[in-house]
């Protein structure tokens, strides 16, 4: 793959993710509500004391807005999609030895 195609595709992917991130930021009300909640949670945590940082008996720890908003199915789908994408890329690179046509195999 030529260098300008690589840079162009990376710029396109970066700008797409930047646009989606900005949309999500504005759709949730920005940073102010999250900052207020985070400060309250930190203050409560300091007042209440603490427990163990990782408690496997509680199950998978998911952020409150995802859990309380009923978005666990969507969250699980996104996690599964990323896991399958990673596995697919691993198998592809292992099978074909890389992404570019003009590169030598690494083996």
Mean pLDDT of 78-94: 92
Separation of alpha carbons 43 and 37, rounded Å = 10
pLDDT-above-70 percentage for the chain: 63
The answer to whether residue 87 is domain-embedded is yes
CA angle 78–58–28, rounded 5-degree value: 40
The answer to whether residue 3 is domain-embedded is no
The answer to whether residue 81 is domain-embedded is yes
Separation of alpha carbons 72 and 78, rounded Å = 10
23-60 pLDDT, tens per residue? 888 887 776 766 777 777 767 655 555 555 555 666 66
pLDDT of residue 86: 94
Q: Domain limits at 69?
A: 63-97
The structural domain count of the chain equals 1
């Amino acid at each position: 793959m030529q260098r300008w195609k690589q840079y162009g595709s990376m710029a396109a992917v970066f700008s797409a993710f930047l646009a989606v991130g900005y949309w999500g930021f504005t759709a949730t009300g920005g940073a102010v509500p999250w900052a207020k909640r985070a400060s309250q949670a930190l203050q409560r945590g300091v007042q209440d004391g603490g427990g163990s940082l990782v408690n496997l008996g509680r199950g998978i720890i998911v952020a409150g807005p995802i859990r309380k908003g009923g978005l666990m199915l969507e969250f699980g789908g996104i996690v599964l999609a990323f896991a399958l994408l990673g596995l697919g890329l691993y198998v592809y690179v292992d099978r074909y030895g890389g992404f570019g046509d003009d590169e030598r195999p690494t083996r």
